[in-house]
Amino acid sequence: MSPRNLRNDPCWQGSDLGHPLPDAPHAVSVALPRWQDVIAYEENDPACRNALKTIYPRFGLHPLLRELADEIASPGGSAWPYSSEAAARASAAHCRRKAPASQTQVVQSAGLCCLKADAEATPPARAFWQHTGLGATSRQVAIALHREPAPSPGAGQQARRIVRERLAQIHDVDVARISLHTAGMAGLHAALTAIQALRPNRPTLQLGFPYVDVLKQPQVVFHGGELMQSSDLAELAANLERLSPAAVIVELPSNPLLRCVDLPAIAELAHARGIPVIADDTIGTGINLQALPYVDLIFTSLTKSFAGRGDVMAGSLLVSPHSAWSDQFLDQIEPLATLNDADAIALEDASRDVSQRVAQLDANCLALARHLENHPAVKRVLHPKDCPNFQALMRPNAGHGCLLSFEVIGDEGQARRVYDGLRVNKGPSLGTSFTLACPYTQLAHYDELDWAATYGVSGHLLRVSVGLEDPLDLFERFQQALAS
């Protein structure tokens, strides 16, 4: 049976609950087609959880990983397959710091290194797994369990070389400045680890409403992290003086508000105090944005727009040639786990059309944003085209990324009706060639909705990653849902 064509036949109805997005063994998203499914997922409803044929990586174990982990775990405990022994041992060290009386063990199973954790160690083990992105991927486990053939090391090495060259060309830097990682969060982990040698034992300062794990990783795994939402530069200067952070972290643009900070001004304030700046350009992409004159390190989830298929886990880290600490970072960045052969090969294949595909995704997203802005049932649309700070970083003839958010007029009940009636794929992630929608705040901040609201992030905000569907057909689907 051929895979489901998700552009023409999306997973949008209740009967699609749990379907992998895409329709592939290593899909990184899963269909949550109704608002009630999202709530059931967040509430750990067994009926919902048992219907899921896959799960968003880092937020849970893929069925293949679950199979391996269940074979290893002791009663009452847990097990976590990792991409390398070094990553598993780093997880064990984290558990010892957070739960000194707990018991962990690094073991080999099917050729993979796994962390066994007792009940007390399980919460920090789970947190390290989620926030760092260093866990084994479904492709690694499929090969370890002999469900899929292992590619040749030479093919994997060649794929990694081509991907690094592709990224270096996008950013116009030497290929030696690009390192590949198991996930975008693993790229951030490598960046924060390198910065410890420069500014040890200090918290980070993140600007703008955060993607949850970009904030949680420094808070939970490193030495803390503060969040600053204000764009006032005098307030930022005061916070830099007060906190003297290890680094300033920015997202280009932020998720899901899709706003950019004044990066040149922020970089000037931070660098004057000897503080590096780390940027996440996953949404804006290096194809669209030129951030290197201002930032020291850029990490990216290559799973998203770079790959575009939604079935490969990968990340990158770039050391800016403009950074005052360029040589130091190049010497110190050493991934705890490198991108494995199978995922590297899949990533290289998927990203061959990245420049053309991203340009089309961006154009389609812009068209939908303009349509929605003129719809009488829409309260507001959030899109980077309305952010001067984003525009100031754009390359010539660049786009704005594939992501928008919007709110409907009315209460949460109206948002539910629109979401349930929307004939597009519904689940987490972004950057795929098929459109993906989700009630973002419910998924990312279910236990802190009031907190999110204080930052202007509504509990019934809908986030849309626009795909390659015909723009007029796509807007017609949104019109029909909004008519509900």
What are the tens digits of pLDDT across the range 138-190? 999 999 999 999 999 999 999 999 999 999 999 999 999 999 999 999 999 99
**In this structure, are residues 415 and 441 in contact, taking their beta carbons and an 8 Å threshold?**
no
Among residues 259, 340, 308, 265, the alpha carbon closest in space to that of 468 is found at 308
pLDDT tens-digit series, residues 345-385: 999 999 999 999 999 999 999 999 999 999 999 999 999 99
Task: Tell me the pLDDT of the chain averaged across its residues.
Answer: 96
- What residues contact 425, with CB distance under 8 A and at least 6 apart? 6, 10, 11, 12, 21, 29, 31, 434, 435, 436, 437
pLDDT tens-digit series, residues 14-34: 999 999 999 999 999 999 999
* pTM of structure: 0.97
Taking 90 as the threshold, does the pLDDT of residue 3 lie above it? no
Pairing of strands 204-207, 248-251: parallel
**In this structure, are residues 72 and 109 in contact, taking their beta carbons and an 8 Å threshold?**
yes
Taking 90 as the threshold, does the pLDDT of residue 310 lie above it? yes
β-bridge mates for residue 207, sequence order: 228
How far is Cα 454 from Cα 227, in angstroms, rounded to an integer? 13
Taking 90 as the threshold, does the pLDDT of residue 484 lie above it? no
SS (HEC) of the chain: CCCCCCCCCCCCCHHHCCCEECCCCCCCEECCCCHHHHHHHHCCCHHHHHHCCCCCCCCCCCHHHHHHHHHHCCCCCEEEEECCHHHHHHHHHHHHHHCCCCCEEEEEECCEEEEEECCCCHHHHHHHHHHHCCECCHHHHHHHCCCCCCCCHHHHHHHHHHHHHHHHHHHCCCHHHEEEECCHHHHHHHHHHHHHHHCCCCCEEEECCCCHHHHHHHHHCCCCEEEECCCCHHHHHHHHHHHCCCCEEEECCCCCCCCCCCHHHHHHHHHHCCCCEEEECCCCCCCCECCCCCCCEEEEECCCCCCCCCCCCCEEEEECCCCCCHHHHHHHCCCCCCCCHHHHHHHHHHHHHHHHHHHHHHHHHHHHHHHHHCCCCEEEEECHHHCHHHHHHECCCCCCCCEEEEEECCCHHHHHHHHHHCCCEECCCCCCCCCEEECHHHHHCHHHHHHHHHCCCCCCCEEEECCCCCHHHHHHHHHHHHCC
Residue type, 402: C
Q: How far apart are the first and last CA of the chain?
A: 35
57 pLDDT band (50/70/90 cuts)? confident
User: What mean pLDDT do residues 238-255 have?
Assistant: 97
Lookup: tokens for 22: 């895409």
Among residues 246, 179, 188, 182, the alpha carbon closest in space to that of 214 is found at 188
pLDDT at 240: 98
Taking 60 as the threshold, does the pLDDT of residue 1 lie above it? no
User: What mean pLDDT do residues 379-400 have?
Assistant: 97
Residues 418-446: b if buried by 16+ CB within 10 A, e if exposed: bbbbbbbbbbbbbbbbbbbbbbbbbbbbb
